[in-house]
Amino acid sequence: MYKAFFGLTSNPFNLSPDPTFLYRSPFHEEALANLIYGVTSRKGFIMLTGEVGTGKTTLLECLRDYLTAHHTPFGFIFNSRLTPEQFFEMVAYDFDLQCNRSSKTEVLFSLNNLLLERANQNMTTALIVDEAQNLDWEVLEEIRMLGNLENRRGKMIQVILSGQPELDRKLEEPNYRQLRQRIGLRCRLRPFNTAETAAYIATRLARAGMREQTVIPADVLAEIHTRTQGIPRLINLVSDNLLLTAFALEQRQATSQMLDEVTRDMELDWPGSSRRFEIASAGQPDLNAA
């Protein structure tokens, strides 16, 4: 909506996990390097964790691009509400296995053949699982057993488990011990610091056609960081609304007042926000009653 007003060629703060907009913060850079290293050096299980909106799916999309460019076949499981039967069906579909896709035995047999064929050519295969914190134990067990497929050169399938920090906690439970022990590499995404938040916004605006961003002044950038806690998804939502507000007022620059309006409308709260204070005091009688 505000694109033409600010001379942009595309929407800078889209919520899709688009690798072309990637900002390489040190954590993102390291995590992506680790994912690629984990797959190419056949670490078996690789785990990526991070809070909601920190960029996990975006990095998985980058990994997907890397694997495609390097002719490494992969499966991508993003629906975590799966039964084991549906899981095998999705695996068969992703790897284009020519077998009865509703038969676990047939899928495993075909997959094993594919993996062997690839391994004989000294190449590997990957299975990417997003939102893994939601997977049932039965499905995680099947995934763990896929990791047993191995030849003398190492694991034949590299499994990337990505999820919210609950995934870490889930694997601490006793019945996940076997899976936990197999994780050869762990990477963790963290929110941006103040400087990274500013650089992130500038990078996205540059990608959308504004080579040097002048719409959000430094004090507002610092305040965006505080209010979003450096979480990329929230930064996108706030920045998008901020540009929209500036556009509606026909202003070339965003101001703190605009930011106040935006975060109030979004009902955003952050450590030290007055809203948090209101919620805390409103909660007081309940706490006393309990």
Residues at the contact surface with Mg ion, assessed by CB under 5 A: 56-57
- How many other CB atoms are found less than 10 A from the CB of residue 82? 19
User: Is the Cβ of residue 130 or residue 258 nearer to Mg ion in the bound state?
Assistant: 130
Provide the token pair at 114.
């594919």
Map tokens 């999820």 to a residue: 163
Cβ proximity to ligand ADP: between 115 and 161 the closer is 161
Among 236, 239, 245, 263, binds ligand ADP (CB under 6 A): 236
Is the C-alpha dihedral spanning 119, 120, 123, 127 positive or negative?
negative
Question: Is residue 216 within 8 Å of 207, Cβ to Cβ?
Answer: no
Residue numbers 14-73 binding ligand ADP by CB under 6 A: 15, 17-18, 21-23, 25, 28, 50, 52-58
Residue 50 site contact among Mg ion, ligand ADP, none (CB < 5 to 8 Å, cut-off depends on kind): ligand ADP
Count of positions on this chain that bind ligand ADP (CB under 6 A):
19
Please name the residues in contact with 33: beta carbons below 8 A apart, sequence gap of 6 or more: none
Name the strand (E) or helix (H) holding 183.
Answer: strand 183-188
Q: Which is nearer to ligand ADP, 51 or 106 (CB)?
A: 51
Contacted by 44, from ligand ADP, Mg ion, none: CB < 5 to 8 Å by type: none
Helix axis angle for 194-207 and 218-228, nearest 10°, is 110
Q: Which does 53 bind (CB under 5 to 8 A by kind): Mg ion, ligand ADP, none?
A: ligand ADP
What does 28 interact with, of Mg ion, ligand ADP, none (CB < 5 to 8 A by kind)? Answer: ligand ADP
Q: How far is the CB of 130 from Mg ion (least distance, A)?
A: 6
Which stretches of 11-156 are assigned E, i.e. beta strand? 45-49, 74-77, 125-129, 150-151, 154-155
* Residue 52 interacts with which of ligand ADP, Mg ion, none, CB < 5 to 8 Å by class: ligand ADP
Residue 271 DSSP SS3: coil
Closest CA to 23 of 55, 47, 57: 55
CB of 50 to Mg ion, least distance (A): 9
232 binds ligand ADP (CB under 6 A): yes
Distance CA 73, CA 126 (A): 7
Name the site residues for ligand ADP (rule: CB under 6 A).
15, 17-18, 21-23, 25, 28, 50, 52-58, 232-233, 236
